[in-house]
Structure 1
Amino acid sequence: MKDAKQFWDRTAARYAKSSIRDMASYEKKLAITQEYFHPDWKVLEFGCGSGGTAIIHAPFVGQMVATDISDKMLDIARRKAKDAGVENITFRQGTLDSLEFEDASFDAVLGLNILHLLENVEGALSRVYRLLKPGGVFVSSTALVSDMNVVWRLVIPLMQSVGLAPYVNRLGRDDLLSRLTEAGFKIDKEWQPGKDSIFIVAKK
């Protein structure tokens, strides 16, 4: 975890300036997510990065808690939220393992572009399931590293060896769906904008 924090602290400024590669898919994911929201909902986003998505979603819910392992990411996120006039987000540094939340305390949990960066996916999904209220939703968008073309699968370890890429696991579509089901979730919506990524809304 220390190595992950150092990597994201080091790359926070560059990450915050990077553009979204597929804006149409991103906007579709936002729209689908917001179809589930209610104005009084309490929502958790873990691995929020520089806060862009949390800030977009915040006006559609009552309260958001956005967390990240990186202090530097959260510094950027707080500035962006202040500049946007968004006041119903609480930013907290930490991980699903390190932060203390009561079970069944969130109506929705967002894990966007984060599951493929975790070493213990099963533990994270189990924690998310416990944090959700009955009937709550878990929204995830995940890179499917095992389904990427072979060039990327060869390049990633090289980038990691020189500190240009973080840890990534080798989740594939079937593996991820199976782990969600084993954690107790029911898949409500599944969409793949490309074969190497998947967007899922799962219900408790």
Structure 2
Amino acid sequence: MKTSAKFWDGVAVKYAAQPVSDPDAYDQTLERVASYLKPTDRVLELGCGTGTTALRLAEHAGSVLATDYSGGMIAQAEAKMGVENVRFLQADVFSPDLQDGSFDVVMAFNLFHLVDKVDAAWARVHDLLAPGGLFITKSPCLGERSLGFKFGLLKRLIPVMQLVGKAPYVRFDTIADLDARTTRAGFEILETGNYPRRPPNHFVVARAV
């Protein structure tokens, strides 16, 4: 993946200390995710960051393997440990430590706009799922034209910030891009929503077919 683990290692402590930017949208997302989980589900979270989401959802699943390719993020997550059915692992979606067909649910939140080989990543998610398994994801859609001048300026500034190590790789997808990528990767979309609505953070629940 193009985004540097070194960047995320460097911001991990600060990231862990930050409050959730939109608690209502976050809680709404967790509520929708929990409604799809079963007590027997083997869940994989990709890009778990400092582990808050995995720990919040653990009571609804059989087991949760929460992964991030930043060792700094995993260290922050492990400091929060105390839930027996959650395990943290430094890995990304392409890691050989993750076995094909071994998960009932794969989750990824606020991750795939930071991944350059995104089509290959979504294909790999499909492989990781057991037949009929669920892919639950949410991504900021920073490419929506309705976002106006502010986000247009951000799009121009990010490459400059990347040159000095102040920003990771960022992709500017639209809602239509995400939905099309989902079906193209071999999924049937079951539910979508935007939490929050602006800028749209697009939520998708899809079944592997």
Give the letter aligned to residue 110 of structure 2: N
Other-structure match for 2:136: 139
Alignment of 1:155-170 (within 5 A): 155-170=157-172
Gaps of 5+ in 1: none
Structure 1 runs of 4+ with >6 Å offset? none
Other-structure match for 2:188: 186
24-33 vs 85-94, greater mean Cα deviation: 85-94
Q: Secondary structure at the match of 1:202?
A: strand
CA contact (8 A) 2:42 2:61 kept: yes
Q: Secondary structure at the match of 2:106?
A: strand
Q: Secondary structure at the match of 1:145?
A: coil
Instruction: Select 1:98's aligned residue among 80, 95, 105.
Output: 95
Other-structure match for 1:77: 77
Gaps of 5+ in 2: none
Give the letter aligned to residue 176 of structure 1: L
TM-score in terms of structure 2 length: 0.91
CA contact (8 A) 2:3 2:169 kept: no
Correspondence 1:15 to 2:12: no
Other-structure match for 2:203: 199
Q: Secondary structure at the match of 1:50?
A: coil
Shift of residue 152 of structure 1?
2.2
TM-score in terms of structure 1 length: 0.93
Q: CA RMSD in A?
A: 1.5
Shift of residue 170 of structure 1?
2.2
Other-structure match for 1:89: 86
Q: Secondary structure at the match of 2:193?
A: strand
CA contact (8 A) 2:2 2:115 kept: no
Other-structure match for 1:32: 32
Q: Secondary structure at the match of 2:172?
A: coil
2:140 & 2:164 partners in 1: Cα distance? 21
Give the letter aligned to residue 99 of structure 1: P
1:140 and 1:114, CA in 2 relative to 1: closer, same or farther beyond 3 A?
Answer: same
Number of aligned residues: 201
Shift of residue 144 of structure 1?
1.3
Q: Could you say which structure has the higher helix fraction?
A: 1
